[in-house]
A and B are shown apart, each in its own frame.
Chain A
Amino acid sequence: MSVFIALLILCVFLCLYRVGKGPTAPDRTVAIDILGTLVVGFCAIYSIITKKDLYMNIGISWALLSFIGTIALAKYLDGRGFDE
């Protein structure tokens, strides 16, 4: 299992490289969206390791909150208000 955790951490560092380097703002937004999905994968692997369903609760709420954050960032990039 630790091999899988290490590979996911490699993925997180690749995303963080794109967050730091990305030439435009949508590049950074894409990388942050992908980070949110990767965290759900972390929660699933931790729930397999520890046999507790606490981590699946965290995964569900993380998926939904990451979606709300992505939509808010996309609306901000579009140059519109949040209530349109």
Chain B
Amino acid sequence: MNETAGLILLIVGIAFDVVGCIGLVRLPDVYNRLQAATKCVTLGTCMILLSVLFYTGINQMSVKALLCIWFVLLTSPTGAHAIARAAHRSGIPLWDGSIMDKYAEDREGAEDKV
């Protein structure tokens, strides 16, 4: 029973990883790649780590896996946000089909106020 649940989590997690990496290759600009790859690969890796809990039960290894889930969930979105902000501030253009750029509008408004 537990091994079946672990196997299902493992398969779904690796499917998310593969889809995220295909998005990293296929999508047109850095912001699209960032959101596809970061969200899918974070969820996929957390599912793989959760499958360790179902495979081995509660012991030293699965507690470390839960700790690792916490760290991945904490650090991966923060890093993605930092990269997106740095890319926007260093002047990487958006894709031609993008229809709005709220961060640029916010920055222009802030500069006008100063």
Q: Which A residues fall within an 8 A CB radius of B?
A: 4, 7-8, 10-11, 14-15, 17-18, 24-27, 29-31, 33-34, 37-38, 40-41, 44-45, 47-48, 51-53, 56-57, 59-60, 63-64, 66-67, 70-71, 73-75, 77-79
- Contacts A26-B90, A38-B41 known; 9 new A-B pairs at CB < 8 A: A7-B17, A8-B14, A30-B83, A37-B42, A45-B10, A51-B61, A63-B72, A67-B79, A73-B83
Contact at A15–B21, with CB atoms within 8 Å? Answer: yes
Given contacts A45-B48, A74-B85, contact A11 B17 (CB under 8 A): yes
Q: 1/0 per position for B59-103, CB-CB distance to A under 8 A?
A: 011001101100110011011101101110110100000000000
The A-B contact count (CB < 8 A) is: 153
Ordered by A's residue number, 21 sampled pairs between the chains whose C-beta atoms are within 8 Å are: A11-B17, A14-B22, A14-B25, A18-B33, A26-B90, A29-B83, A33-B38, A33-B80, A34-B41, A38-B45, A41-B14, A48-B10, A48-B51, A56-B52, A56-B61, A56-B68, A60-B71, A66-B79, A71-B82, A74-B79, A78-B89
Q: Which B residues fall within an 8 A CB radius of A?
A: 6, 10-11, 13-14, 17-18, 20-22, 24-25, 30, 33-34, 37-38, 41-42, 44-45, 48-49, 51-52, 55-56, 60-61, 64-65, 67-68, 71-72, 75-76, 78-80, 82-83, 85-87, 89-90, 92
